[in-house]
């Protein structure tokens, strides 16, 4: 029983626990512990983009957002933010390629900010949503503009960059890096799961119950 004695907790049940840990890391961790979507990663406009819709949604946005400006091809296009029941919005003609945004405000605001890349038929090619972004006058730079890179979603809120229609992979590739990010996190999760297994082997004392007990519920948070 030498090998079995040497690795008393490496049973089938514990292998399952390890896999669960890996899946947990893969699927759940990104949403509960990741930082807000990084504002400086505003995706490029995918092929086919003809418009970009920017919506800043909140009561304070209705009060304080004055202008939205879209930067493409080394020039800025400024528009007065249009008031809607949800906040304020701007719609810009756009083309494929890098995109930048900036805002002009008259006071501090907190809002959901969404950026939507739209093709000629109105189809959404890609979209970005930052939840509960704080935009304050202190962030203002030259000319009073607040750069996209200087805003960020509030901690704990869900940020999401959502490429649409996996079938349009060529379009997605110009959007967010979510898939790469998921792969990385997934790999990390698997690694974590594997480490968990190793940890179980090396530190059976972390596991509640008697040695050899397969109840590893307390170990899942490791």
Partner 1 sequence: MIANAVRLPARRITRPLFSGVAGVVVAALVMVVAPMPALATTGVAEPSLVAVQAPAFTVPDTSVPVVETLLGRGGPLGLDATGGVTLGDAREGHEAALVRITALEPVADVTVLTGATGAPVLFGPASHTTSTVVLLPIADGAVSLWSDHETPIRVEVLAYFGGSLASPGATKAVAEPVRRADTSIGLGATSLGRGELWIGLTGEGGVPSTGVRSAYVTLDVTLAESDQLQLSDGQSIDLPAGRSVVTTVVTLDEQGGIHANLRGATEAISFTADVHGWVVEAPLDARNANLVGSYVSTTELNGRLPVQLRAGAKGTPLHLADSRDASHALVLVEGSAMSAPSAATTVQHGEIPTGRATGAAVDSSRGVVPQLALVPVAEEYGSFSLRQGAIELTVQPLGSFLGDASRERDQEPELTIDSHRDGDDVDISATGFFTLSGSAIPGANSIDRIEMYAFVDPAVTLDPQVDLDAPVGADGSRHIGNAQLSYDDNHVTWSFDAAAPTDGTYTYSARLIHRGDPGSQYVAQSVELHVNVAAPGEEVVSPDARVMNMESVEFAVDPADERKVIFGEDPQLLPDDILVGGATAATPEGFLGRVSAINNVNGSWIIDTVEVQIEELIFQADIDETIDYVDGQGQDGEPIVVTSAEETTADPESLYSGTYAVADDQGVFGEDVDLETVEAAPFAPGDPGAELFTGEDVDLDLGLDDFEQQIQDDVQLQCITLEDDPQEPRGPDIDEDGNWVTPDGDSVPGGDPCVQQLRAELNRTWSVGTDATLLLEVKNGKLLVKDQSNKPEQTQVAEKKSAFGNKFGIAVKASGQASATLKFKLDVKFKFAFKPSNAVKVQEFMVKVETDLKAQASLSMYVETNWKLDLTKKLGEVNLPTLTFMIGVVPIVILNDFEIALSIDAGIKAQVDFPVIGVSRHDEFGFTYSSGEGIKRIKNPGKTTFVNSFAQEVDDQTQVKLSGWISVGPEVTFNSRIYKFAGPAMSLGAGAGIRAELKTKVDETSPVKAKIEIFLGGGLKGKAKLTLLRWELLNVTIFKIEWETVLWSGEWDVKKAKPGQ
Told to check if 131 binds partner 1 by CB under 8 A, we report: yes
Told to check if 114 binds partner 1 by CB under 8 A, we report: yes
Told to check if 18 binds partner 1 by CB under 8 A, we report: no
Total residues at interface with partner 1 (CB under 8 A):
35
Residues of span 42-101 touching partner 1 by CB under 8 A: 53, 55, 57-59, 61-62, 82-87, 89, 91
Tokens of 182: 């998921």
Told to check if 163 binds partner 1 by CB under 8 A, we report: no
Told to check if 148 binds partner 1 by CB under 8 A, we report: no
Question: How near is the Cβ of 121 to partner 1 at its closest, in Å?
Answer: 6
Told to check if 165 binds partner 1 by CB under 8 A, we report: yes
**H or E element, residue 35:** none
First to last CA, the chain: 29
User: Following DSSP, what letter does each residue of 13-28 receive, concatenated?
Assistant: HHHHHHHHHHHHHHHT
How far is 60 from 80, CA to CA, in rounded Å? 16
- Report the C-alpha dihedral over residues 53, 58, 59, 65, rounded to 10 degrees: -50
Question: How near is the Cβ of 60 to partner 1 at its closest, in Å?
Answer: 8
Tokens of 146: 């607040």
Q: Of 12-20, 122-130, 133-141, 200-208, which segment contacts partner 1 by CB under 8 A? A: 122-130
How far is 157 from 31, CA to CA, in rounded Å? 9
Distance of CA 146 to the CA centre of its chain: 21
How far is 6 from 174, CA to CA, in rounded Å? 51
Told to check if 112 binds partner 1 by CB under 8 A, we report: yes
Q: Look-up: residue for tokens 């080394």? A: 74
Question: How near is the Cβ of 39 to partner 1 at its closest, in Å?
Answer: 17
Enumerate binding residues for partner 1 (CB under 8 A): 31, 53, 55, 57-59, 61-62, 82-87, 89, 91, 112, 114, 116, 118, 121-124, 127, 129, 131-132, 156-158, 160, 162, 164-165
């Amino acid at each position: 029983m030498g090998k079995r004695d040497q690795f008393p907790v490496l049973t089938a049940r514990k292998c399952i626990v390890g896999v669960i840990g890996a899946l947990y890391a893969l699927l759940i961790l990104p949403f509960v512990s990741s930082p807000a979507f990084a504002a400086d990663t505003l995706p490029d406009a995918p092929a086919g983009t003809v418009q970009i819709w920017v919506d800043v949604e909140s009561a304070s946005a209705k009060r304080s957002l004055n202008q939205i400006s879209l930067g493409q091809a080394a020039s800025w296009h400024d528009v007065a933010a249009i008031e809607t029941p949800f906040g304020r919005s701007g719609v810009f003609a756009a083309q494929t390629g890098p995109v930048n945004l900036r805002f002009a405000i008259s006071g501090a605001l907190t809002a959901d900010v969404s950026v939507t890349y739209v093709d000629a038929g109105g189809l959404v090619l890609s979209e970005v949503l930052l939840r509960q972004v704080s935009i304050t006058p202190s962030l203002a730079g030259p000319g009073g503009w607040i750069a996209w890179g200087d805003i960020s979603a509030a901690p704990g809120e869900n940020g999401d960059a959502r490429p649409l229609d996996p079938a349009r992979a060529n379009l997605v590739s110009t959007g967010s890096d979510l898939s790469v990010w998921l792969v990385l996190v997934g790999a990390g999760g698997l690694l974590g799961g594997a480490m968990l297994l190793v940890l179980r082997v090396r530190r059976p004392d972390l596991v509640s119950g008697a040695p050899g007990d397969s109840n590893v519920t307390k170990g899942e948070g490791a």
